[in-house]
Amino acid sequence: MASIGVIGSGTWGTALAVLLAEKGCSVTIWSAIHEEVVSLTESRRHPNLPEAVISDKIGITEDMEEAMKEKDLLVMAVPSIYVRQTAARMRPWCRQGQIVVNVAKGIEEDSLRTLSQVIEDELPMADVAVLSGPSHAEEVSRGLPTTCVAGAHSRETAEFVQDVFMNQVFRVYSSPDILGIELGAALKNVIALAAGIADGLGYGDNTKAALITRGIAEIARLGTAMGGAFQTFCGLTGIGDLIVTCASMHSRNRRAGILIGQGKTMEEAMEEVHMVVEGVYSAKAALALGKKYHQSLPIIEQVNQVLFEGKSPKEAVNDLMLRDKRVEIQDVFW
């Protein structure tokens, strides 16, 4: 079986490490935090995954070389804001052709680059792939049926990643559309903040359905303008990931949005969630990409105004509802 290094000991990295170890892979988890390494090693539990047991066969280390040396595959599972600095830290031990699978979701705010592009900047010798989809770590760690998509530059790499991760409860599809996969994964977090805000305001299922539906329209509009495939946004990493993130209390983006809708500031909401809220970091980048590619993103625009300009959530909803009349589908004619 494959030898795998998981770079990052958050809930998603840990859940995937447990999944891979149960398949018989040799797995090592890396963390940058000494206290976290000690805690995970001694307790064999992650505090945010109470039902998951970290097998004694899984190594846990703060030594990057140990986590990377002679590995068939590396899983990049650090929060999006730490991807560049972590990839740079990995450079001395990354060999030519090393497969690095990014499972984080986000867009780098300053460069507007996707996370796989950021990793390729720092690790040009690597063969960078992605794994994404509607996949809460809490459910994967419990062995609940889940489906994801592996994207890569070559069919060979995508199918290798597919084979490594896939089992009877974790089904993996393959795709060449790395860009579309990553854009869907990142932009849905911004829409999930909007869905949470609506929940916090006390709005109902009609509002949630409208945000999901018009949200995927914004994601697909921007994503295809950037070169992603329209079909990707109709699939697991588009509408699939958007549905689960907007509807579930496992979603830290939705939970943060609920708190904002109830009157808390963005900073207060992030502190209360106690986890990285990726949508906050992707919101500005999403808006900048919309301007760069000349695409209208009204929901994302209102989320930015609520997060960073002090606009009241109720006013943001009113402005969305009272925009000028539109047709729903542009390419269907009378």
CATH of the domain at 127: 3.40.50.720
Q: Does residue 88 sit in the same domain as residue 136? A: yes
- pLDDT at site 324: 80
- Is 255 a domain residue? yes
Q: Which range of residues forms the domain containing residue 166? A: 3-176
- Is 18 a domain residue? yes
pLDDT tens per residue, range 146-191: 999 999 999 999 999 999 999 999 999 999 999 999 999 999 999 9
Among 132, 156, 176, the domain boundary falls at 176
- pLDDT at site 278: 86
% of the chain with per-residue pLDDT over 70:
100
pLDDT tens per residue, range 98-147: 999 999 999 999 999 999 999 999 999 999 999 999 999 999 999 999 99
If DSSP states are collapsed to H, E and C, what string results for the chain? CCEEEEECCCHHHHHHHHHHHHCCCEEEEECCCHHHHHHHHHHCCECCECCCCCCCCCEEECCHHHHHCCCCEEEECCCHHHHHHHHHHHHHHCCCCCEEEECCCCECCCCCCEHHHHHHHHCCCCEEEEEECCCCHHHHCCCCCEEEEEECCCHHHHHHHHHHHCCCCEEEEEECCHHHHHHHHHHHHHHHHHHHHHHHCCCCHHHHHHHHHHHHHHHHHHHHHHCCCHHHHCCHHHHHHHHHHHHCCCCHHHHHHHHHHCCCCHHHHHHHHCCCCHHHHHHHHHHHHHHHCCCCCHHHHHHHHHHHCCCCHHHHHHHHHCCCCCCCCCCCCC
Q: Does residue 149 sit in the same domain as residue 18? A: yes
pLDDT tens per residue, range 262-292: 999 988 998 888 777 888 889 999 999 999 9
Q: Which residues are catalytic?
A: 188
Q: Does residue 31 sit in the same domain as residue 151? A: yes
The mean pLDDT value for 285-310 works out to: 96
Q: Which pTM was predicted?
A: 0.94
Q: Does residue 144 sit in the same domain as residue 14? A: yes
- Is 330 a domain residue? no
Q: Does residue 116 sit in the same domain as residue 214? A: no
Q: Does residue 7 sit in the same domain as residue 137? A: yes
Q: Does residue 231 sit in the same domain as residue 168? A: no
Q: Does residue 164 sit in the same domain as residue 22? A: yes
CA distances from 270 to 8, 36, 149, 158, 307 (A): 20, 21, 29, 35, 11
Q: Does residue 197 sit in the same domain as residue 312? A: yes
Give the bridge partners for 99, in sequence order. Answer: 127
Q: Does residue 128 sit in the same domain as residue 244? A: no
Look at residues 111, 62, 76 and name the one whose alpha carbon lies nearest to residue 4: 76
- pLDDT at site 332: 83
Helix 266-273 to helix 252-261 angle (10° resolution) is: 140
- Is 210 a domain residue? yes
Does the structure show a pLDDT above 80 at 47? yes
Backbone angles phi, psi at 302, to 5 degrees: -70, -35
- Is 240 a domain residue? yes
- pLDDT at site 275: 75
Q: Does residue 170 sit in the same domain as residue 230? A: no
- Is 144 a domain residue? yes
The mean pLDDT value for 218-229 works out to: 97
- Is 168 a domain residue? yes
Rounded Cα gap, residues 57 and 167, in angstroms: 19
- Is 282 a domain residue? yes
And the tokens for 11?
């809930």
Does the structure show a pLDDT above 90 at 45? yes
Among 128, 146, 176, the domain boundary falls at 176
CATH number at residue 183: 1.10.1040.10
Rounded Cα gap, residues 237 and 123, in angstroms: 25
- pLDDT at site 194: 95
- Per the structure, how many domains does the chain have? 2
Q: Does residue 56 sit in the same domain as residue 188? A: no
Among 132, 151, 176, the domain boundary falls at 176
Rounded Cα gap, residues 101 and 72, in angstroms: 11
